A and B are shown apart, each in its own frame.
Chain A
């Protein structure tokens, strides 16, 4: 019984983890149709913000929850102004440009901080006991944060004026411009918010993962597969993609081992995209956000 609970907990954490690393990408891709290949590096920058800030004596909670999204959000705005805004509607060009950006960011961080940066932070919460088993309290916290983050993004898009205007701009830019909305500003804010969510995710993962300039590469593929499998809806798609792929990965990793777990994740994504080329939300929950 304890084992079942412990395994279920890890399964939920695996799903939340996938959702957390994918959400920022889903916002930028789902809203703006821009494929951000520097997404992994945005996660890395979030992690680096936390490591550098805590090394300078900043409280870890402030570094993770405030500084990481702020810094990466600002970087996102700068990137949008300098790079992305020239490339709207040219998906292949944005792919190439953001790939170049990812190489630039890795190079910049390596030349500023070196190949690796020491850290002293560890997960700030204690241990949860599940009978004979134990799990990290911080992982429970991450599951909670992921849920809150999804609700916050939903509320922003659905309940605020900014969300309404943003959704309108994405659906019909000419019409919203005719109604007096500054499209360029909306694009900038949306990209910045997507980057900030990514930065927050990277910051939150800093205490439980290795933080290195090249670490983005390990996240980018999984985030992409999740978002593409999920389909066009930002929240429902990311959630559905994470539950399916995270679930498959977790179950197979526990039964057979991590190698088969990774293989199972990729195979299920391939089968899914063969059957539903537009992702899960291309067929189901089409009206959802």
Chain B
């Protein structure tokens, strides 16, 4: 056959047109799993470890043969600690990628920015961060711990150990404000007294006046819900003034950004915190997970905390639900999740609570020694009792609200 220029051009352009189509088909066969986290900017101390464990989860799922015979493809977005990127990327993930599920958000503000978007696009949403509780949303699974699981444990433990008079310091945004209300409630329920509550804007770095006030009030302990890099200064200045030895600290946030590594051993020794995970959990699943993580990332791997571990377990819960449902369609997967699905992960057994779309989980109290957490007490299978007070998705699945938006009193809890 004589190859004229016209034929050649026609043939190759047909080939060129056909080629992307085959590639596109190969890609669209993959199941899309979208992750939106802050991997740069001020919140990257939380986001970076979460991204690593999310990647590991997708690798593990694919190494076990993928889901429904298809490969899972991770679409990872960096929201750069900026809320507007969350809405933008959530829309992209839902409408553009047609992701089967979106696992996203670190701060409560970022969650509230994308929850309505993902509900509107009918895209299954996982929020894998510990938070203040109160989300009641059929489409949204909150796998992190809530105050009834952690604050309710650490407050009586610390009060038994140190005394009844409590001074609360917290970050000045919805997490800190609402968590401080939970703290006051649990302090009162355990027969204690809250001497004062102080809120700090996120860029405060000089805590001198507050340390004076704590010295004046003479509490038996300080409970902190401080957040972010600037607030790390509180622990350092508190210890530098010799206070940590006199008035100990319990916290609901210290450690989720691996803050224990950002201050020296003597500035942190004795601080108590409660989470759904600490590295010291003595189980085969946990040790195996840490070994594999170290093999992947080397000895310089990030320290694992609840946020990172729950990002892994959240992905695994979704994978289990897809297997059980036999499809990636949203409705059957949600039904499978809400059927009391559970996953045995590094933190122990995590079970979806169908009343709230939150999780029942093991909760641990840790005490800091030489920049590492020692588990001093553990509680098995704790329900999300706070959100259960106000939310019942079994009765009315057609809900998509954040009930603690205006505080506990507005939600009818006192």
Flag if B264 contacts A139 (CB, 8 Å). Answer: no
B262 touching A118 by the CB < 8 A rule? yes
Contacting B at CB under 8 A, from A110-155, are 110, 114-116, 118-123, 126-127, 132-139
Do the beta carbons of B212 and A3 come within 8 Å of each other?
A: yes
Determine if B236 and A258 form an interchain contact, defined as CB atoms under 8 angstroms apart: no
Interface 9-residue window, one of B137-145, B200-208, B396-404: B200-208
Pick the contact of B243: A123, A134, A210, A261 (CB < 8 A): A134
Whether the pair A10, B208 counts as a contact (CB closer than 8 A) is: yes
**CB within 8 Å: A-B pair count:** 147
Q: Which of B198, B237, B240, B267 has the most CB of A within 10 A?
A: B240
Q: How far is the CB of A115 from chain B (nearest CB, A)?
A: 4
Chain B residues contacting A133 (CB-CB under 8 Å) are 212, 215
Is B201 a contact partner of A259 (Cβ separation < 8 A)? Answer: yes
Indicate whether A107 reaches chain B with its CB closer than 8 angstroms. Answer: yes
Given A17-B206, A119-B262, do A210 and B213 touch, yes or no (CB 8 Å)? Answer: no
Query: Using an 8 Å CB-CB cutoff, how does the interface string of B178-221 with A read, 1 for contact, 0 for none?
Result: 00000000000000000000111111111111111101100000
Contact with B along A1-29 (1 / 0, CB 8 A): 00100110010011001000000000000
Given known contacts A10-B209, A114-B48, A116-B261, is B200 in contact with A134 (CB within 8 Å)?
Answer: no
Q: Which of A239-289 contact B (CB under 8 A)?
A: 250, 253-254, 257-259, 261-262
Q: Is the CB of B264 within 8 A of A120?
A: yes
A208 touches B261 (CB 8 A): no
Q: Is A199 an interface residue (CB 8 A)?
A: no
Contact of B239 with A by CB under 8 A: yes
Chain B residues contacting A10 (CB-CB under 8 Å) are 208-209, 211-212
Q: Which of A31-39, A75-83, A214-222 contacts B (4 or more CB under 8 A)?
A: A214-222
- Asked if A211 lies at the interface with its beta carbon under 8 angstroms from chain B, I say yes
CB neighbours of A126 from chain B (8 A): 242
B239 partner residues in chain A, CB cutoff 8 A: 122-123
Contact indicator A214/B262 (Cβ below 8 Å): no
- Residue of A122, A134, A210 near B232 (CB, 8 A) is A210
With a CB–CB cut-off of 8 A, which chain A residues contact B172?
A: 258-259
Within 8 Å by CB of A210, from B262, B264, B371, lies B262
Query: Which residues of chain A have C-beta atoms less than 8 A from B209's C-beta?
Result: 7, 10, 14, 250, 253-254, 258, 261
Whole-angstrom distance between the Cβ of B278 and the nearest chain A Cβ: 17
Q: Which residue of B lies closest to A212 (CB)?
A: B229
CB pair B205 A209 closer than 8 Å: yes
- How far does the alpha carbon of A12 sit from the alpha carbon of B137 in the complex, in Å? 50
In the complex, what residues of A have CB within 8 A of residue B231's CB? 210
Task: Give the complex CA separation of A215 and B40 in angstroms.
Answer: 12
Chain A residue nearest to B49 (CB atoms) is A115
Count of A residues near B, CB < 8 Å? 50
Q: Which residue of B lies closest to A12 (CB)?
A: B208
With a cutoff of 8 Å between Cβ atoms, the chain B residues found around residue A139 in the complex are 208, 237, 240-241
**Docked CA distance A108–B45 (Å):** 16
- Across the interface, name the chain B residue whose C-beta is closest to A253: B209
- A207 contacts the other chain (CB 8 A): yes
Contact of A208 among B210, B215, B236 (CB under 8 A): B236
B201 CB, nearest partner CB in chain A, Å: 5
The complex places the Cα of A164 from the Cα of B15 at a distance, in Å, of 75
Q: How far is the CA of A3 from the CA of B215 in the complex (A)?
A: 9
Chain A residue nearest in CB terms to B43: A214
CA distance A17 to B243 in the complex (A): 21
Q: Kindly identify which residue among A6, A122, A253 contacts B236, using a CB–CB cutoff of 8 Å.
A: A122
Distance A7 CA – B205 CA, assembled complex (angstroms): 17
Question: Known contacts being A133-B212, A139-B240, A259-B201, is A218 close to B229, with CB within 8 Å?
Answer: yes
Assess the B230–A215 pair: CB atoms within 8 A: yes
Is B326 on the interface with A (CB-CB < 8 A)? Answer: no
Contact A110 B262 (CB under 8 A): no
Is B266 in contact with chain A by the CB < 8 A criterion? yes
Asked if B30 is at the interface (CB within 8 A of a chain A CB), the reply is no
Is B264 touching A257 in the complex (CB atoms < 8 A)? no
Q: Which residue of B lies closest to A21 (CB)?
A: B205
In the bound assembly, the distance between CA atoms of A139 and B263 in angstroms comes to 17
Residues of B within 8 A of A258 (CB): 172, 198-201, 204, 207, 209-210
Which residues from chain A contact B208 at a C-beta distance below 8 Å? 10, 13-14, 139, 250
Q: Which of B202, B212, B233 has the most CB of A within 10 A?
A: B212
Decide: B42 and A120 in contact? CB cutoff 8 A: no
From B47, B259, B264, give the contact of A121 (CB < 8 A).
Answer: B264
Whether A221 touches B264, Cβ cut-off 8 Å, given contacts A115-B44, A250-B209, is no
Q: Per a CB cutoff under 8 Å, which of A118, A132, A208, A254 touches B237?
A: A208
Min CB distance, A47 to chain B, in Å?
A: 11
Q: Is the CB of A116 within 8 A of B258?
A: yes
Find chain A residues with CB under 8 A from B203 CB.
Answer: 217-218, 221, 262
Verify A214–B42 contact, CB threshold 8 A.
yes
Q: How far is the CB of A50 from chain B (nearest CB, A)?
A: 12
The answer to whether B229 and A107 have CB atoms under 8 Å apart is: no
Min distance, Cβ B303 to any Cβ of chain A, angstroms: 9
23 A-B pairs within 8 Å (CB atoms) are namely A6-B215, A7-B212, A14-B209, A17-B206, A115-B44, A116-B262, A118-B262, A119-B262, A134-B215, A135-B241, A136-B240, A207-B236, A208-B233, A208-B240, A210-B233, A214-B41, A214-B81, A214-B229, A215-B229, A250-B209, A253-B209, A258-B198, A258-B209
Q: A120-B264, A127-B240 are in contact. List 4 more A-B contacts (CB 8 A).
A: A106-B40, A209-B236, A214-B44, A258-B199
